[in-house]
Amino acid sequence: MFGTAPEDPPVLAMTVSETPGRLEQVERDIPSPGAQEVLIRVRACGVCRTDLHVVDRELPGVRPGLVPGHEIVGTIERMGADVSGLSVGERVGVPWLGETCGSCPYCRMGAENLCDAPEFTGYTRNGGYAEYTLADSRYCFPLPDSYGDAEAAPLLCAGLIGYRSLRMAGDGNTLGIYGFGAAAHIVAQIATFEGRRIFAFTRPGDTAAQEFARRMGATWAGGSDEAPPAPLDAAIIFAAAGELVPAALGAVRKGGTVVCGGIHMSDIPAFPYRLLWGERCVRSVANLTRQDGVDFLALAPKVPVRTEVTEFPLVRANEALSALREGTLSGAAVLIP
């Protein structure tokens, strides 16, 4: 619910338009926080591939007028009556997981990322492509002081989902990463810190992305149509291309795991059973838990993870999305109100 104090002027937001693939610039009243919510003045908001799936209507139920964005860094301006543990002026991060029910079987077993009635920032509730946003205070994270606003933004999804994907991949020494963008460049740093070898797979012929991968610690980088120089213990697929699943299965050793790290992927084509045989495993990663956030944000400064970002003014959000869609970015795009 949007409301405003009499002295508050309207503020800028970029919202999903009636036309798929585009955002429109609007002015809105500053929203008023509910009992458990905080009003956040947005300092930076990362641009994630999931935002593309929202804006392009590849995810169900996207409504015109929605404010995307779920890698939010900002300062608390106002708090609801029941908020505890946070203070006005504190810098926080807001991730994709915006709220859970706390009562379904998954929440009760500690798997809140699989909640039956979740809310998602920038998808089912308004996100950070705006000057101000609301967030449930229980799902906000304090951020390490060593990161600036823009540098911290990709940690909130590219980092968190990448971290969960890495943990799902197991402890093997050789790790393949398919699609070397925002999440991959963070995961590669963590995996290298842990002593693993990284083999990066990019679009065939994308030498710039391959050089970027090597700069981020990859031992080898090549096209997704190439075989790695050694069998993989595990592979993580960040590209939303279903045809990479059979390719990754063909590259992992017996007993290896292929992790699909995105919320959306094109259909996986039929493939021969021999690629799966040998106790290979294909699994997806769904969302994150708050414990993932606590663990990753404690680890990131120790590595230390360094994010490579390209800043765009908030009003140029469509340009940032286009750059991500066309694969012309190294690292992550970040919107600055």
Q: Which of 173, 189, 134, 140 is nearest to 299 (CA)?
A: 189
Please report which confidence band the pLDDT of residue 1 belongs to, taking 50, 70 and 90 as the band edges.
Answer: very low
Give the CATH superfamily of 160-284: NAD(P)-binding Rossmann-like Domain (3.40.50.720)
Provide the pLDDT for residue 108: 97
Provide the pLDDT for residue 2: 35
Residue 4 has pLDDT above 60, yes or no: no
Residue 258 contacts by C-beta under 8 Å, 6 or more apart in sequence? 234, 235, 237, 245, 248, 249, 252, 280, 281, 282, 283
Q: What is the DSSP letter of 121?
A: B
Provide the pLDDT for residue 3: 38
From its phi and psi, is residue 41 left (phi > 0), alpha (psi between -120 and 50) or beta? beta
Residue 100 contacts by C-beta under 8 Å, 6 or more apart in sequence? 107, 112, 115, 117, 118, 119
* Percent share of the chain, pLDDT over 90: 96
Interval 115-144: pLDDT, tens:
999 999 999 999 999 999 999 999 999 999
Taking CA 138 as the corner, what is the angle to CA 133 and CA 144, rounded to the nearest 5 degrees?
80
Provide the pLDDT for residue 263: 93
Interval 262-294: pLDDT, tens:
999 999 999 999 999 999 999 999 999 999 999
**Mean pLDDT score across all residues of the chain:** 96
Please report which confidence band the pLDDT of residue 7 belongs to, taking 50, 70 and 90 as the band edges.
Answer: low
What is the model's pTM? 0.94
Provide the pLDDT for residue 9: 87
Q: Which of 49, 50, 55 is nearest to 22 (CA)?
A: 55
Judging by beta carbons within 10 Å of its beta carbon (0-12, 13-18, 19+), is residue 262 exposed, middle or buried?
buried
Domain ranges of the chain: 11-154+307-336, 160-284
Residue 299 has pLDDT above 50, yes or no: yes
CATH 3.90.180.10 for domain 11-154+307-336, yes or no, is yes
Phi first, then psi, for residue 151 (nearest 5°) are -70, -30
Tell me the two tokens of residue 13. 């937001």
Provide the pLDDT for residue 8: 78
Segment 189-195 mean pLDDT: 97
Cα separation, 236 vs 167, in Å, equals 10
Segment 90-109 mean pLDDT: 98
